[in-house]
Amino acid sequence: MTGRPGPTTRVRVRRLVGPIGDDRRDDLATEEPLEIRLTSLDGTRRTVAITMRTPGHDFELAAGFLHGEGLVAPDGIAAIGYCTDEDVPPEARYNTVTVRLRGPVPDLPALDRHFVTSSACGVCGSAGLDALHDRCRPLPRGSVTLTPEILYGLPDRLREAQGVFGKTGGLHAAGLFTAEGEPVAVREDVGRHNAVDKLIGWSALTGRLPLDRHVLMVSGRTSYEIMQKALAAGIPVVCAVSAPSSLAVDLAREFGMTLVGFLRGERCNVYSGHERIREGVE
């Protein structure tokens, strides 16, 4: 493939309904690798991550990943573009992003993570919760409150904005909302953590960080990595339609975040930070 890949790929399938089959076209969510490279003014170049993702909003994905991992702040990015290095073949050009830094390339070997991830599940971004205290502070308790009515409406509002999911049925989503339940931005990807990176990257590149007056709504479950990315962006409330992991709950409680799981219909579990939910108010 030498052209720019899109978020969907059309294939031929054989569909069976009862004993009868017929041939038809089907749209799939595209999954391709993205290599993120860093380069500095002195010519230093280094690959920092390779992740499987759905093409689209690739620059946001790179910026969000770098911010969420504490590698490069938004003001440390001079430019982002698709790679034109000679070692990148034409068919991989749109699967390689180069981030040009204003300063030196970070000392990546000192990190406790090998940044090779899949779209199915991200790898833990730090050695433990203690490492997060070096770059993140607990979030203030009174920055955002929301009613149960607004909370219960978030899954439907997220689903309404999932255009590619409507075609393929195979994508996760991350949505940024106001405390009044109004959608600010939504991003989709085959990987939950990629969708969050795209959303936070968009916020970083447009000067919206920190997101201390917003709510993050994600499809699927909530992992440690998603909570880490939300914390780095200053998001006080994270909601999901499925369960959180134990370490996600530990992180939320450690840093004063509100974590809501199993948000379906008019039910949910609040695992941390229930004081931000105005119970008894509709």
What pLDDT does 92 receive?
A: 82
Q: Which residues contact 191 (CB under 8 A, 6 or more apart)?
A: 51, 52, 53, 54, 117, 118, 119, 120, 121, 122, 172
265 assigned to a ligand binding site: yes
Low-confidence ranges of the chain (pLDDT < 70): 1-2, 108-128, 163-170, 281-282
Answer for the pair 227, 235: CB distance below 8 angstroms, yes or no: no
Answer for the pair 193, 173: CB distance below 8 angstroms, yes or no: no
What pLDDT does 256 receive?
A: 96
Answer for the pair 205, 57: CB distance below 8 angstroms, yes or no: no
264 assigned to a ligand binding site: yes
Please determine, looking at this structure, whether the domain spanning 32-128 carries the CATH number 3.10.20.10: yes
What pLDDT does 121 receive?
A: 47
Residues spanned by CATH 3.10.20.10 within the chain?
Answer: 32-128
What pLDDT does 41 receive?
A: 87
d(C-alpha 223, C-alpha 192), whole Å: 9
266 assigned to a ligand binding site: yes
**Residues forming a β-bridge with 34:** 51
CATH class assigned to 148-276: alpha beta
267 assigned to a ligand binding site: yes
Residues spanned by CATH 3.40.140.10 within the chain?
Answer: 148-276
Q: Which of 83, 121, 136, 268 is catalytic?
A: 121
The residue among 54, 53, 55 whose CA lies nearest residue 3 is 55
d(C-alpha 210, C-alpha 259), whole Å: 18
Answer for the pair 249, 259: CB distance below 8 angstroms, yes or no: yes
Let me know if 121 is a catalytic residue: yes
pTM, two decimal places:
0.88
The sheet carrying 116-117 orders its strands as 77-82, 96-101, 32-39, 45-53, 116-117
CA angle 95, 96, 100 (to 5 degrees): 150
What pLDDT does 125 receive?
A: 42
| Single-letter amino acid, residue 273 | G
